[in-house]
Structure 1
């Protein structure tokens, strides 16, 4: 198979893109239906924030568990199982007799199904493309998230206004069932494994692949303490955590802010929300293409991926801080869009940098751990925003903007740390050195045991 991917590879990318579209439409429906849900169930902003956070109660644990399972089980079957879970939990919300406990249970179970979705989709994508050609297909898969939010805006808003919010959940359940059927017919795992082919003319890429083979030959597995405590993984994890706070606020509170904070009508809110998240797509794809060209020209992953992630996180932070200033509402929407777009790169480039430092044998688990810990921000951010809004009940817009100010400051800090910490080449070499030392110590120990046993065996024979 070509390193660039076969026709089958790009068909899988298309299916994984749709997988992420549905995944994030499932998330977005809660924010888009926020006002009627709060009205029908008589929820305060703080209570609604806690319901939004309940989605993440088991999200991270599920992600870690499925990540380790992905080391041994084909991605095809795991992705199908997740889609079945998403579909099943939508249908209890279809009836008009939905209660608060039913809503919470549905969101918690949806989190169980969606926690592993993104890292497993990336893991499946990586099986079809080598390191030098992963940026663009991986970003296409990741942009399914933005496309899901973008399409959900007008479509689900129309369903909610034309019918009611229950029918929006029903529609998503049906879409999930259809995708599952198609995936079972089309989906399969790719052939790209640990020993990825080198490409002449790309010395840095050749070095990375040689190191990858060395990592696989260093032992059966590398101790997870070496993988989890290296600077690159810690840098990715911290930025992932902060930027996922932005994502969780996007599908929980952005539509409410547009409607109650800036005064837009429900249908206009749907279109504006779609425009905001739609701006994420061209920015991410353009930067992925630039980064991939740099990687293929031999530029280090530290510069081609890490510097972009850290720099754009800081730019996103500045834009979110600007929302809290006295700007015109239209300019606030522009800052929301550009700030959100700038703070998305870690979801494309972070897993690629993790893939730089780990062999395929342990990649699924490490991606799952990163995503599961990073997405804990979703357990905190919606509830925290709800509390801030509740504290500014007399001026809802001010409450949201205080929340955006906090997010902006965290993005600035995380981006600055990223510029310092993200260095996949150095991390990978240190992991390899640690693995070799562990292997040498193990061989020395075995040799000493054999020498200790040999004299006793000789005496026994005498």
Structure 2
């Protein structure tokens, strides 16, 4: 342990050293910020591999532990018991804590939550580990983006945001075939052992490389946080959370997160039990379906970036673009109710989920655009915590549908309900999301 601590201190000292020459310093900062982006890409990769593992080992785990569909749905939802509360609690203090140490602590909690499942265990321990994992992962995504935003100005954020968020996609793509192989080659317990070890490895890497930028130190004077009392701060948060753009973003991200939660818990099982694919096929198809999110996500982010460079307001370049994506996703999910070959249904689900998950690329950018810089980290974490309560509802609701309607039909009814909700929030986004107007109103309220 002393050796680990001393090496960590040396890494920290090296990470925080700054070159003396101004030109060299600027060049180093330009390179350093992309190292941070790459590190946070890996952070999100591990984050989503941790989420995906439960669905990938669902069938052997349910068999070995003799769990019903209802019990397994409860395990899927247990992840979200403290997910949102943790996100809010950590978000409220995120602007006052060194983000380097905070992210390292979160990754270490993930590893601790995985390791007990590397050996035979009880249903109670399984539930507790998923609750602990959810508590550690609740603040992860918004805080990772908050660190990115300390290195990039608003007009530069599309690409780094997309890269970090695609870490989530890459995590599922890698987890699909790799964790399925490990589970079949050794045992499903081995998948949790590997994820715990990877979490510890990333923690050491981040302590050597991690650092925040200086963008958060230059908020506009209008958005400066006055030394006001608790009532004024509370009013400010209520004002921000009741803003029309923030509400539109939260509606879309709420349904988008239901897609994520249901996907991790039930989609691999649907491919096997509902569509009749073998275990290895199901793992690869799940990975390929998720892989569609990468080119589509990058394409949408670059389209938005080019629109912004041409002077198109972000109401259109970000707001209307993601709202249209929600509508198309909704139609794709609803199409599953109609008769189609299994591979066509896999393709429809791939398109639908790839579009729905983009709410978590565009949503944080829209919130960061309208938020005061000094409250950005907290607002990102709080809005993320509110929308991820969808994770408590989705897996359990799907489990109940499966119990009532049977495997294949129950899955497709659940996906169609999700599609209908996506159509509704897509339409709401067209009406509500207007970041320029929201920013002017917040500046007026601050003034």
- Name the TM-score, length of structure 2 as normaliser: 0.91
> Structure 1 residues 62, 232: CA separation in 2 closer, same or farther (over 3 Å shift)?
same
Instruction: Name the SS of the counterpart of 2:95 in structure 1.
Output: coil
Give the Cα–Cα distance (whole angstroms) in 1 for the partners of residues 412 and 357 of structure 2. Answer: 20
- Counting matched residue pairs gives 418
Give the Cα–Cα distance (whole angstroms) in 1 for the partners of residues 201 and 238 of structure 2. Answer: 41
For residue 251 of structure 1, the aligned residue among 251, 258, 264 is 264
Instruction: Name the SS of the counterpart of 1:399 in structure 2.
Output: helix
- Per-residue CA deviation, residues 224-258 of structure 1 (Å, 9 max, x unaligned), is 12101010000001111001000111111110100
> Structure 1 residues 361, 301: CA separation in 2 closer, same or farther (over 3 Å shift)?
same
Asked if 2 retains the 8 angstrom alpha-carbon contact of 1:4 and 1:129, the reply is no
- Aligned twin of 1:235: 248
> Structure 1 residues 9, 106: CA separation in 2 closer, same or farther (over 3 Å shift)?
same
Please list every run of 5 or more consecutive structure 1 residues that lacks an aligned counterpart in the other structure: 197-211, 437-462
For residue 307 of structure 1, the aligned residue among 320, 326, 331 is 320
- Aligned twin of 1:195: 218
Residue 334 (structure 2) pairs with residue 321 (structure 1): yes
Give the Cα–Cα distance (whole angstroms) in 2 for the partners of residues 14 and 388 of structure 1. Answer: 40
- Name the TM-score, length of structure 1 as normaliser: 0.88
Paired residues for 1:285-300 under 5 Å: 285-300=298-313
- Aligned twin of 1:111: 134
For residue 386 of structure 1, the aligned residue among 399, 403, 410 is 399
Asked if 2 retains the 8 angstrom alpha-carbon contact of 1:239 and 1:418, the reply is yes
- Aligned twin of 1:73: 97
- Per-residue CA deviation, residues 234-284 of structure 1 (Å, 9 max, x unaligned), is 000111100100011111111010011001111111100100111011101
Asked if 2 retains the 8 angstrom alpha-carbon contact of 1:4 and 1:130, the reply is no
Residue 436 (structure 2) pairs with residue 435 (structure 1): no
- Per-residue CA deviation, residues 25-78 of structure 1 (Å, 9 max, x unaligned), is 000000000001110111111111111001000000000011111111121111
Asked if 1 retains the 8 angstrom alpha-carbon contact of 2:84 and 2:386, the reply is yes
Asked if 2 retains the 8 angstrom alpha-carbon contact of 1:4 and 1:133, the reply is no
How much has 1:151 moved relative to structure 2? 0.4
- Name which of structure 1's ranges 291-300 and 346-355 shifts more when overlaid on structure 2: 291-300
Paired residues for 1:54-69 under 5 Å: 54-69=78-93
Give the Cα–Cα distance (whole angstroms) in 2 for the partners of residues 27 and 105 of structure 1. Answer: 15
For residue 356 of structure 2, the aligned residue among 316, 330, 343 is 343
Paired residues for 1:30-429 under 5 Å: 30-96=54-120, 98-193=121-216, 195=218, 212-216=220-224, 223-393=236-406, 396-429=407-440
Structure 1 stretches of at least 4 aligned residues deviating more than 3 Å after TM superposition? 1-5, 217-222
Higher CA-based Rg: 1
Instruction: Name the SS of the counterpart of 1:223 in structure 2.
Output: helix
How much has 1:353 moved relative to structure 2? 0.7
> Structure 1 residues 5, 350: CA separation in 2 closer, same or farther (over 3 Å shift)?
farther
- Per-residue CA deviation, residues 428-455 of structure 1 (Å, 9 max, x unaligned), is 111111222xxxxxxxxxxxxxxxxxxx
How much has 1:2 moved relative to structure 2? 6.6
- Aligned twin of 2:18: none
Asked if 2 retains the 8 angstrom alpha-carbon contact of 1:49 and 1:383, the reply is yes
Give the Cα–Cα distance (whole angstroms) in 2 for the partners of residues 376 and 28 of structure 1. Answer: 18
How much has 1:289 moved relative to structure 2? 1.0
